[in-house]
Each structure stands twice: as C-alpha cells, then as structure tokens.
Amino acid sequence: MPPTALEWPAHEALASIARRMKKLRVGILFGGRSAEHEVSLMSARNVLLALDPERYEPVLIGIDRSGHWSLQDPERLLGAPATPPAALPEADASVALQSYVPGSLVAGHDGGGAAGVGLDVVFPVLHGPMGEDGTVQGLLELANIPYVGAGVLGSAVGMDKDVMKRLLREAGLPVAAFHAFRRWNHERDPAGVAARCAELGYPQFVKPANLGSSVGITRVVDPADLDRALRFAFQFDTKVLVERGIAGREIECSVLGYRDPIASIPGEIVVHHRDGFYSYDAKYIDETGAALEIPARLDAATAEAVQRLSVRAFTVLECQGLARVDFFLAASGELTINEINTLPGFTAISMYPKLWEASGVSPRELVARLLDLAFERHRDRAALLTRQT
C-alpha cells in the first residue's frame, strides 16, 4: 500500500525548517495562452491565499492571452472574481526573459531601464498548453531555477492524452480503448476516421489531445454527431482523441512526492449536470453541476487499488511533485485510468487540494511541501556532472 500523508519523510520536515531562516521569494506564474486561462487565474488566487506570509514573499507574474508577461499586484488578484470568467488584472510592470543570472528569472521594464526580479523558486500555476506541457518547464530548466511540478518530459507526456495512454498501456495499466487522429487525417478521409471510431462503439468521448478542464470535449451517443464533435475538438488542438465511453463512477486520487510519492484518500465526482459528464460547465459554471464526495465510498481493497495505481501511473509517466489521477470504476469493480493531470486545478472547488486536506494536509502545508519538493529535485539535478573528468 502506498505511504499516506502521515508518513511524510522526516528529512522533508527538516529541510522545511531550515528554509524558515529567511523569507523565500516565490514566483507564482499564472494565466497563459491556453483555453484554461481563466481556471489558472482561479488556481493562482488560491495558491496565493495558501502561502504562509511568515515564510514566503509572493511575486506574481501574469501571462495574458497574447503571451505578454507582467508583474501583478497580489491585492488585485485576490479581488478578482472567484469563478470564471476572470480577467487578468491590470499589469503593474512588464517583464521580459533575460539570460541566466543567479537568483533572477525576469527583468522588469518600466521605460526607465530594467531591474532584475530575484526569485528563489517558481510555482507555475498554469493549465494546458504553453504552461503545463513542458514548455515553461524547459524555460525554468534553462534559467536554472527550482520549480514546482514535473519536469519537461513528465509534463509533456502528461499533457498529451494519446502518448500518455500509450505509455500506460505499455506498462500494463488499464486504459479505455481509443484512437487518435490528426486534423489533416479527418480533412482527407472523414469516412475512414468515422469507420475507425465506429469500432469503439457508443457512447464515446471526443476530446482535444492536449488540453484539460474538459475544454473541447463532447460526449457522442449518435454516429451522426461524430463529425460535429471532431470539428469542435479540432478547434482547440491539431490532434484529437476518440475514446470508448466507460460506464462507471468517477474516482480521483491526488499524488504528492518526488523520490517516494504518496497517495491521498480517493474522492468521487458525482455529476448532476445535463451534459451527462464532468464537463467544463459542470466543473466551473453550474454551482449544482457536480458534487465532490470526500472520501469516496469505496471498500478498503478498492481504495487501496486506486492509491496503488495512482502512484504507479505517476511513476510510469515520469512525474514529480504533484499530480491528480482520474479513474472510472465500473459496477464490476474494474478500474480504468482516465488520465493524469500534472498541474491539477488549485481552485476553491478543485479535488487535488481538497483530497489532501481530507488526508490531513492543509492547503498551507500542501503548498509548503510542494515548494520543498521543488528544491529537493533541483538539488539532485544541480549535483549532476556537466562534463566528464
């Protein structure tokens, strides 16, 4: 059985105590160019609220939809709406990337020159492409600065549902039958794509391969609706996944760690929304669209299986720091992994922090542990040789 929250290694606590000697500057990177921009704003708001002001000094860096980076006022972010649509607050100063200078990632531009913004660690509260997919992680690696979450490979694999499911399947982990199509495949041979999709049976789900928060997803129950669902998904990504629908309960489990990841207690999503699945509207718009049951009503053996498979998926997909693993639980008791989220939502209604809170880890402690893990991983990488002597 995976270790629980109460079994967090003692050396992590010691490392955390050592850092209390000074206040650390935490860059919270949020917004972004993806369709999950609004969700990122809500997540950043809650990460900011969870930061211990006695230990951390937040530096907010917002990315607007055009890709422009700017420094943000924490008070304005906290005053923004708690539910979408949420707009990126007005910028205090623009920032631009600069060549690596120890302890500095960005330089502010105010018309009178540039001043370095020193950061000790970055928490990239970004969801979807251009943030959760390894792009920002690569930038932070080049800047040689610690950051929360998976590295370049784990982030990229976790974002691409097609590659993710192929790796899980190769490792012998349970996934639903699926096909992946490029947009040009569909444009050149729509009948052939439809024929392959028919092999999966109905209902089926059509979703962009590289997106989250249920953006662009359609539940298809009639073959006549397939083409419309594909065209809708292709507006968000050039690759689309078509997956066999699994009848069952939606179970989620949070994972936390680096060398020895641990799993939270599982929770369940109970959907009431007219969409019939955990859609974007059910998650963020309709207050009664879904309910979270924490802990999920599972027997001990099933709960342990969810935890074990969550940690296994986390390891197989090269994740670090945090992830949420989503499952379907059939009436037969069979578990199917739906997907992994390497930077899951941190909103007030998000399952990841709620599961850890129910497991005995408060939001404040959770954010502190994630920052500790960022430093631990960075130390390991910094100790590697860069030349053969």
CA 69, 127, 307: angle at the middle one, nearest 5? 145
Higher pLDDT, 9 or 216: 216
178-244 is a CATH 3.40.50.1110 domain: no
Higher pLDDT, 104 or 207: 207
Token couple for 198: 């028919």
Higher pLDDT, 129 or 32: 32
133 included as an active-site residue: no
339 included as an active-site residue: yes
Strand arrangement of the beta sheet that strand 69-72 belongs to: 114-118, 104-109, 93-101, 69-72, 56-63, 24-31, 121-125
CA-based nearest residue to 249, from 203, 292, 206? 292
pLDDT at 215: 78
36 included as an active-site residue: yes
- 337 pLDDT band (50/70/90 cuts)? very high
Write down the catalytic residue from 32, 33, 36, 376.
36
38 included as an active-site residue: no
338 included as an active-site residue: no
14-22 LR contacts (CB < 8 Å, sep 24+)? 15/372, 15/375, 15/376, 16/368, 16/369, 16/372, 19/55, 19/372, 19/375, 20/55
* Residue bearing tokens 């998926």: 313
Instruction: For the chain, give every residue range classified as CATH 3.30.470.20.
Output: 158-174+247-380
258 included as an active-site residue: no
pTM for the complete prediction?
A: 0.87
Q: Which residues contact 114 (CB under 8 A, 6 or more apart)?
A: 96, 98, 107, 108
57 included as an active-site residue: no
Give the separation between CA 126 and CA 47, rounded to whole angstroms. 12
pLDDT of residue 78 exceeding 90? no
Write down the catalytic residue from 243, 280, 345, 352.
345
Distance in Å from the first CA to the final CA of the chain: 42
Write down the catalytic residue from 43, 155, 210, 213.
213
Q: Report the percent of the chain where pLDDT is more than 90.
A: 65
User: What value does the mean pLDDT of the chain take?
Assistant: 86
pLDDT at 370: 98
Mean pLDDT, residues 314-318: 98
What pairing do the DSSP bridges indicate for beta strands 24-31 and 56-63?
Answer: parallel
Q: Report the percent of the chain where pLDDT is more than 70.
A: 80
Tens-place pLDDT, residues 21-31: 588 999 999 99
pLDDT of residue 5 exceeding 50? no
Domain 158-174+247-380 in this protein, CATH class = alpha beta
Token couple for 283: 């998650």
pLDDT at 58: 94
Write down the catalytic residue from 324, 350, 352, 372.
324
66 included as an active-site residue: no
- 274 pLDDT band (50/70/90 cuts)? low
Mean pLDDT, residues 317-327: 98
- 129 pLDDT band (50/70/90 cuts)? confident
From 229-238, 264-273, 307-316, the region with the lowest mean pLDDT: 264-273
Write down the catalytic residue from 12, 120, 268, 326.
326
- Select the CATH number that applies to the domain covering 5-148 from these four: 3.40.50.20, 3.90.1150.10, 3.40.630.30, 3.40.50.720: 3.40.50.20
Tens-place pLDDT, residues 140-198: 998 888 999 999 999 999 999 999 999 999 999 999 999 999 999 999 999 999 999 99
pLDDT of residue 334 exceeding 90? yes
Write down the catalytic residue from 339, 350, 372, 377.
339
pLDDT of residue 50 exceeding 50? yes
Tens-place pLDDT, residues 214-229: 778 999 999 999 999 9
pLDDT at 10: 45
Tens-place pLDDT, residues 246-268: 999 999 999 999 999 999 999 99
Instruction: For the chain, give every residue range classified as CATH 3.30.1490.20.
Output: 178-244
Higher pLDDT, 69 or 5: 69
Q: Which residues contact 110 (CB under 8 A, 6 or more apart)?
A: 93, 94
Write down the catalytic residue from 341, 352, 359, 372.
341
Instruction: For the chain, give every residue range classified as CATH 3.40.50.20.
Output: 5-148
